[in-house]
Amino acid sequence: MELRSYGATGLSVSPLAYGAMTVRSDPALKDGVAPSLLAALEAGVTLIDTARAYPDSEAIIAATLKVWGGPKPLISTKLRSRSREAYRVYRPAHEAYPAEAIRDSVEASLRALQVDALDIVHLHQWHYAWTHELGWLETLQRLREAGKLRSIAVSVQDHEHDAALELVSRGLVDGVQAIVHVFESRPANALLPLARTRGAGVIARCALDSGGLTGEFGEAEFAARTFLKHAPFGEYAARLAALREAFVPDVAGTLTELALRFVLSLPGVSSLALGMAERRFVDAALEAVRRGPLPAEAVDAIRREHVWTRNFYERLP
């Protein structure tokens, strides 16, 4: 895969990143080694995205990299917060990320991943007000000076991508992570172009909207999925049908292919982090990447006609 720049950091990343949130569900997992991750690495994936909060993820990555004989991939992780409430509502930054919690989380990730330094470290939550509460940033900068990490980033929660605009505009971080998909293309209006001009890397997540955009789920499967169970299934199905009618198969062979290629067509996206806990998911994603960007007119039509402003996640416990 042709690599992309992660902002102005000097890091180069594959357009497809292995999202490790669900890595322990790899059905072929054995002795802590994930064959799906090995398959992604063998195909040229150079970035792994994980978090302290993802169960067993960092340990599985470490075990898998021990048996991997190729080039060392970059690792992006996210700090463990002291405040679960801050995923939903504002809490002061010093409550969610006091200095000791940041240091503890970084050290725990270093041990679990068995590396000397972390390539990208994100806050796992973000509120606009934290732009003006910069104790967390000072702590991360000191850890970078100590050689514990290379790049500082934030993961923008839910659909609140505009909350990071001032942070990026002021050049306070090296990168951001945000939800971007065919229904949520609004980051292309401001966040993505701003990141390009300010030299910030962008990891796009949820490109398949927790699987909903594959078009393969029935109503029962929506109800069983944490991030889809509050979705209005009838409206979702109607919007999928509209996408199929407009773009499948003339522009893309499947909805999955359409969704992945759309995100990778947006200028400013450094990499797309995708959960691929089975080899078949890796293969399907790689095939979509190989097909390259969508035609410009298809990208414009999706952005004009299929944006859907909503947030199913607000009702999560």
CATH number for the domain harbouring residue 28: 3.20.20.100
Specify if 11 maps to a domain. Answer: yes
Q: Would you say residue 315 lies in a domain?
A: no
In a domain, 62, yes or no: yes
What number of helices (H) and strands (E) belong to the chain? 12, 10
Distance CA 73, CA 301 (A): 35
Number of domains in the chain: 1
Distances (CA, A) of 81 to 70, 105, 259: 33, 8, 31
Determine, yes or no, domain membership for 30.
yes
- Residues 163-169 have a mean pLDDT of 98
Full residue range of the structural domain in which residue 170 is found = 4-309
Does residue 317 lie within any of the structural domains? no
pLDDT band at 317 (very low <50, low <70, confident <90, very high): low
Confirm whether 59 is domain-assigned: yes
pLDDT-derived band at 312, boundaries 50, 70, 90: confident
- Give the mean pLDDT of 148-167: 96
Half-sphere CA count of 304, side-chain side, radius 13 A: 7
Count other Cβ atoms within 10 Å, centred on residue 198.
16
Rounded to the nearest integer, the mean pLDDT of the chain is 96
Phi, psi (5° rounding) for residue 156? Answer: -80, 125
Residue 229 domain-assigned (yes or no): yes
What percentage of the chain reaches a pLDDT higher than 90?
Answer: 94
